[in-house]
Amino acid sequence: MNKDASKTDLSLFVASFRRWRYKLTYANNKCLFSYILLAVSLIRDAFEGKIQYLQIMDELGNVDSGLFPAELTDDKLVEMLKLMLLTRNADQKAVSLQRQGRSATYAPSLGEEAVNIGTAAAMRKNDIFVPAFRQHGVYFARGLPLHLFYMYWMGFEEGNMIPPEVRGFPMSVPVGTQMPHSVGMAFAQKYKKTGNAVIAYVGDGGTSEGDFYEAINFAGVWRAPLVIIIQNNQWAISIPRSKQTAAETLAQKALAAGIPGMQVDGNDAVAVYKATAEALKNAANGPTVIECITYRAGMHTTSDDPNKYRNAAEVEEWAKKDPILRMKLYLTKKGLWSDQIEAQAVEEQKKLIDAEVEIAEGFKPDPKSMFQNLYSFVPETLDYELKDSEANNFWQGE
C-alpha cells in the first residue's frame, strides 16, 4: 500500500466525515428549532373573559343620564320606592311578631330591597320567579297577599301555596336546592315555546353549592331562558364572602358554564332593573347571571346574632349605601318625593300590614292537611292514622 495514498485517503475521509457531521448537526438543530417554534405556536390563550360592573345611581342619588332606562317613568320610580318601603315595613313587622312569640323564626331582608324590587319591576307579566327565602319584596311586587306571607312565617304551609297569578314558586329554605328546579322550569318554557323567562334567586352562600353549578351548566348547554340573580349580601350566616371562594367575583362562575355574567350595584334599584330587563329581553338566546352587590343589614334569621361575628364599623359603612335612602334622595331632587308623601305612604302601608296580620292570626288550619299533602295517594298506614285522628278529634278536645 502506498503510504502517501493512504494518508490522502484518510484525510479525505476525515474531511468528508466532518462535513457530514456538520450537516447532520445543522439539520438536527434546524429540526429542534422548528419543533420549538411549533410548540410556541401551540401555547395561546384558550379563553378570555371579563366581568363588567354597572351602577347608575350612586349613594347620593346622582344618576348617569346616559345609562338611565328611558322606560322608567317618574310614576314607575315612585311606585318602586313605595314597594321598597312596603318591603321594609312588612319586614320590620315580621321581626316584631317573632320577638313577641307570635311568629316562628324569620329571615329579614333589611338592606336588600333594591334587588327584590329592581328585578320584580323588570319582569314581564308571564315571567316566572323561583325564590330562595329572602325575596319578600318580589312576592309583594307580584301581588302576593300579605296575610299569606305572614301565615308562612307563622308556620302554616298554606301560606306557601302561591296563587297562580303571582307566577312564583314557594319559598325554598334549603340552600341552593331551588336552582335545578329553576333551570327545569326555564327549559319547559323553551320547549313549549311560551316566550316566557324564569328568574332564579340565590345567595352568595348558595353559589358554593353543587346545585348551583349543576344548574348553570345545564342552563348553558340547553340555552335556557333563565336569569340567575346572585343576591350577594356578603354573608352566608356567619361566613363572610372572602372565606367562601377565591374567585374575584361570583359572576365569573358563569363564564365556566358558557354563560355571560355581570356585576351590578345591588343597592341601586335602577341599575338592577336595567340589567334584569336586558337579560330578560335576551333570554330567548340563553341564560344570564347577574351578581347584585348588596348587604345583609340585619341578622341572617331571628335566631342569629350578627354582633358575634361582624363589627359595627362595617355595618355603618354599608348603611351609607342604603338602597331606600338613595332612591329618596334622587326623587326628592326631582320634586317627586317629600316627607309628607312618605309619611302618608307609610301610614297606609302600616294599616294594610296590621289588617293582613289579623287575617293571618285568625287562620285555622285543617288538621287533615298534614295527611293530604305528603303523597299523591294516602298509604294504608297513613290512612289508619288519619281515621284514628278524626275519631279522636285530632286530640283537640271538644
The 10s digit of each residue's pLDDT in 374-383 is 788 889 999 9
Check whether residue 167 and residue 104 sit in a common domain. yes
The SS3 assignment for 12 reads: helix
Q: How far apart are CA 208 and CA 126, in angstroms?
A: 30
Same domain for 239 and 380, yes or no, is no
Residue with cell 301560606: 159
- Give the residue-averaged pLDDT of 103-125: 98
DSSP for 23-61 reads HHHHHHHHHHHHHHHHHHHH---S-----EEE-SB-TTS
Which is the catalytic residue, given 300, 310, 326, 375? 300
What is the CATH classification number for the domain harbouring 209?
3.40.50.970
Of all residues in the chain, what percent carry a pLDDT higher than 90?
Answer: 82
Residue 93 falls inside a structural domain: yes
Q: Which of 26, 53, 191, 309 is catalytic?
A: 309
SS3 249: coil
Full residue range of the structural domain in which residue 76 is found: 52-361
Distances (CA, A) of 284 to 189, 278, 365, 382: 10, 11, 42, 45
**pLDDT tens across 199-252, in order?**
999 999 999 999 999 999 999 999 999 999 999 999 999 999 999 999 999 999
Q: At what angle do helices 146-153 and 74-99 cross, to 10 degrees?
A: 30
202 contacts: CB under 8 Å, gap ≥ 6 = 132, 176, 178, 179, 212, 228, 229, 230, 231
CB atoms under 10 Å from CB of 348, counted, come to 12
Task: Provide mean pLDDT across the span 122-128.
Answer: 98
Question: Does residue 313 register a pLDDT over 70?
Answer: yes
In this structure, what C-alpha cell is assigned to residue 160? 306557601
Q: Are residues 393 and 295 in the same domain?
A: no
- The Cα 281–Cα 276 span in angstroms is 9
10 part of a folded domain: no
pLDDT averaged over every residue in the chain? 91
Over residues 100-127, the mean pLDDT reads 98
Residues 226 and 327 both lie in one domain? yes
Average pLDDT rounded to a whole number, residues 69-82: 98
Confidence band (pLDDT; 50, 70, 90) for 175?
very high
Catalytic residue among 296, 330, 375, 384: 296
Return the percent helix, strand and coil in the chain, to nearest 5.
Answer: 55, 10, 35
- Would you say residue 162 lies in a domain? yes
Domain count, the chain: 2
pLDDT interval class at 6 (50, 70, 90): very low
- Say whether 300 is catalytic: yes
Shared domain for 283 and 181, answered yes or no, is yes
Do 373 and 354 share a domain, yes or no?
A: no
> pLDDT class for 26, splitting at 50, 70, 90?
very low
| Angle at the Cα of 143 from the Cα atoms of 223 and 267, rounded to 5 degrees | 65
Q: What percent of the chain has pLDDT over 70?
A: 89
- Write the CB contacts of 226 (distance below 8 Å, at least 6 apart in sequence): 182, 183, 186, 197, 198, 199, 200, 219, 283, 287, 288
- Residue 3: predicted pLDDT: 46
To the query of whether residue 201 is one of the catalytic residues in this protein, the response is: no
How much is the average pLDDT of 346-362? Answer: 98
